[in-house]
Amino acid sequence: MGIIEIIDLKKTYERVTAVDGLTLTVERGEIFGLLGPNGAGKTTTIKILSCLTVPDSGICRIEGLDVVKERYAIKRIIGVVPQENNLDRELTCYENLKIYAMLHRVEDYERKILNSLKTVELLDKKGTLVSKLSGGMQRRLLIARAMLPSPKILFLDEPSVGLDAHVRRQLWELIRGIAWEGRTVILTTHYIEEAEALSNRVAIMNKGRLIALDTPFRLKRELGAYVVEEQMGNGKVRYHMFHSKGEAHEFARGCACQVTIRESNLEDVFIRLTGERIES
Ligand code: ATP
């Protein structure tokens, strides 16, 4: 049995169907990426899983517990890093974590707060006001806060939005470390590179539906590991997928237009399945 089981999940807001019949299983200990463009339904899925919103229909279980009927039990085993930064800017890092620890009845919290700050490399900022931290540091503090009750599952909603490439990579190391401890990590992202770099498996969502689910490697291999980009002269690009470098080169030699050969990525998978791009 997977640690998370979702069967035919649906959620509609007024006229918008945010999640439209989602079915998937997340295995224990994996980093599971939910990838898709803005509005694909990723955040809504995370909100349902973290008991912040109620689905219209379908089944959603975490460790066999129902997200609607057993949400107090679920809240004890999950940690959530929301998309919007909800730290208290007028309090220090330590104070933010202390309030959270007390709300969640974390035992021996002083030691755990210091450990948490150490893990995210913010121990020296213990007494610093949140308003004085960089965006990357605040994101790390949000992770430290979510980790305080030592959750089995950590949900990260767009963890690296707004962070530069270097800080993003530091954050990836931190996330890998959390999974290495045996925890399950579910992250949403619309960054292709992030989904590929971190996820053991990726669910690609579009318009509330699951359109592909597998390891990044298998998703790309199925499509073709090499892409020839053909510049059409009118600003348009045509993409041709090939399973071997040799085939790609042979095709490129026969093209009259300017071509580029590169390895395929999850964006190519998305384009092939939907005709659209993920990253805006
Ligand atoms: P993003 O990457 O922009 O966060 P997402 O894939 O996480 O997108 P959701 O935030 O789940 O997508 O939104 C899915 C759809 O549901 C969107 O069309 C969105 O406008 C709509 N939606 C989400 N929350 C609400 C709400 N509280 N009220 C009305 N519509 C909503």
Q: Pick the atom of ligand 1 nearest to 36's CA.
A: 6
- State the DSSP string of 61-86: EETTEETTTTHHHHHTTEEEE-SS--
User: Are 186 and 32 contacting, i.e. CB atoms less than 8 angstroms apart?
Assistant: yes
Question: Is 13's C-beta closer than 6 angstroms to any atom of ligand 1?
Answer: yes
Question: Ligand 1, atom 2: nearest CA belongs to which residue?
Answer: 38
Task: Give the pLDDT confidence score for residue 279 in this predicted structure.
Answer: 65
Rounded Cα–Cα distance for residues 213 and 74 (Å): 25
Residue 117: alpha-carbon gap to chain centroid: 22
To test the pocket of ligand 1, the residue of 9, 42, 210 to mutate (highest count of ligand atoms within 8 Å of its CB) is 42
Question: Is 96's C-beta closer than 6 angstroms to any atom of ligand 1?
Answer: no
Where the chain has pLDDT below 70, the residues are 278-280
For the whole model, what pTM was predicted? Answer: 0.90
Question: Is 40's C-beta closer than 6 angstroms to any atom of ligand 1?
Answer: yes
Task: Give the pLDDT confidence score for residue 38 in this predicted structure.
Answer: 87
Task: Give the pLDDT confidence score for residue 165 in this predicted structure.
Answer: 85
* 117-123-127-129 Cα dihedral, nearest 10 degrees: -70
Q: Which of 34, 50, 45 is nearest to 205 (CA)?
A: 34
Q: Which two tokens stand for residue 150?
A: 């030592």
- 231 - beta bridge partners? 237
Burial class (CB in 10 A: 0-12, 13-18, 19+), 77: middle
Q: What is the DSSP pairing of strand 184-189 with strand 153-157?
A: parallel
pLDDT tens for each residue of 172-215? 998 999 999 999 999 998 888 899 999 999 999 999 999 999 99
Q: Which two tokens stand for residue 214?
A: 């597998």
**Å from CA of 19 to ligand 1 middle:** 9
DSSP state of 181: T
Q: How many residues does the chain have?
A: 280
Question: Is 18's C-beta closer than 6 angstroms to any atom of ligand 1?
Answer: yes
User: Are 11 and 56 contacting, i.e. CB atoms less than 8 angstroms apart?
Assistant: yes
Q: Which domains does the chain have, with CATH numbers?
A: 4-216 (3.40.50.300), 219-274 (no CATH)
Question: Is 112's C-beta closer than 6 angstroms to any atom of ligand 1?
Answer: no
Task: Give the pLDDT confidence score for residue 98 in this predicted structure.
Answer: 97
**Å from CA of 39 to ligand 1 middle:** 5
Q: Which of 1, 4, 5, 2 is nearest to 154 (CA)?
A: 4
Question: Is 41's C-beta closer than 6 angstroms to any atom of ligand 1?
Answer: yes
Rounded Cα–Cα distance for residues 13 and 6 (Å): 19
DSSP state of 95: H
**Å from CA of 226 to ligand 1 middle:** 33
